[in-house]
Amino acid sequence: MSYKIVSFETPKPVKAASALMEALNIDRAKAQRLIDKGRVKLNGEALTIKTKVEGVLSVLVFDPKPSGLKPFFTAPDFAVFEKPAGVLTHPNGFDCGSTLLDDAKAIFGAKAQPCHRLDRETSGIVIVSRNEKSEAAIKDQFASRLAKKTYFAFVGGFVGAKRLIDAPIVAGSKERNDRLGLPKVMGAISAQGKEARTLIVPLKYFADLDATLIEALPIGGRTHQIRLHLKHIGNPILGDALYGADVETTRVWLDGTLKRADRIAKTGADRLMLHADSIWFFYQSRFFIKSCVPFGENDLRRAVQSD
């Protein structure tokens, strides 16, 4: 578990945020976020007031449990990691195992933060800031779409020509997806969605596997954008148990009980065959970072090999 409880006593009335700032050596904004997220208790009860408090404060704080991931490029203000498939970028609960964030904070300290996300099953490069100044600057590059990313993916079927997929995306929501009988995490192509475009370039077709290796360049950064766009044109990413399978299979996968052989049979591979290969961004100067781990035919053949 990447969290621990820190407890301390406030012998005299003091504002909760001020007590957290002093005890944890954090700024007021972070102290207030801990309170707003329900991670602070007063004398064993959830803290619901923001005025002066007195007694024992207990705080749930992040406690890194690194797995041994190391950056392959380090600069004074940021570092670049190669995230393996199957590893979360950030924790999504108390029992999610070690994440990239664990390793980043274990190496660079409490202020280290991934500047963007990759899905658990997507492999490839992630930029990690080492301080608050670089975090704000690099995240702004992604928010303003100035940072450019390229991906490799193996998709089902033959892709014969470069094309621009222009299809708006609506994010998954519990209300909408309950109405449609879909898992809440699933987004969709919809005229009511937000603008999203992805340029895809076919690189090589593997006839014996009926699969094409493509390069994908997302214009915009909607959740699951590449996956949704490739499904939309009839060439879902191999191994995509969220958008490349029937709903029943998707629910079994989300429960964590989908067997490897069944996943290969239903989706064409035992993992999502998507890899973040490069990023262009600016931080004081222009950087082009390329993946240090090859992604190609050998990865695909391992992923489709029967037990």
Catalytic residue selected from 103, 119, 270, 277:
119
Q: Is 119 designated active site?
A: yes
- What is the strand order of the sheet 3-15 is part of? 3-15, 52-62, 40-42, 45-46
Alpha-carbon span 293 to 69, nearest angstrom: 14
Are residues 58 and 44 in contact, defined by beta-carbon separation less than 8 angstroms? yes
Alpha-carbon span 249 to 233, nearest angstrom: 21
In the chain, alpha helices (H): 16-24, 28-36, 100-108, 132-143, 174-180, 225-232, 247-254, 260-267, 297-304
Alpha-carbon span 301 to 295, nearest angstrom: 11
Question: Residue 197 corresponds to which tokens in the numbers above?
Answer: 């475009």
Are residues 272 and 155 in contact, defined by beta-carbon separation less than 8 angstroms? no
Residues forming the active site = 119
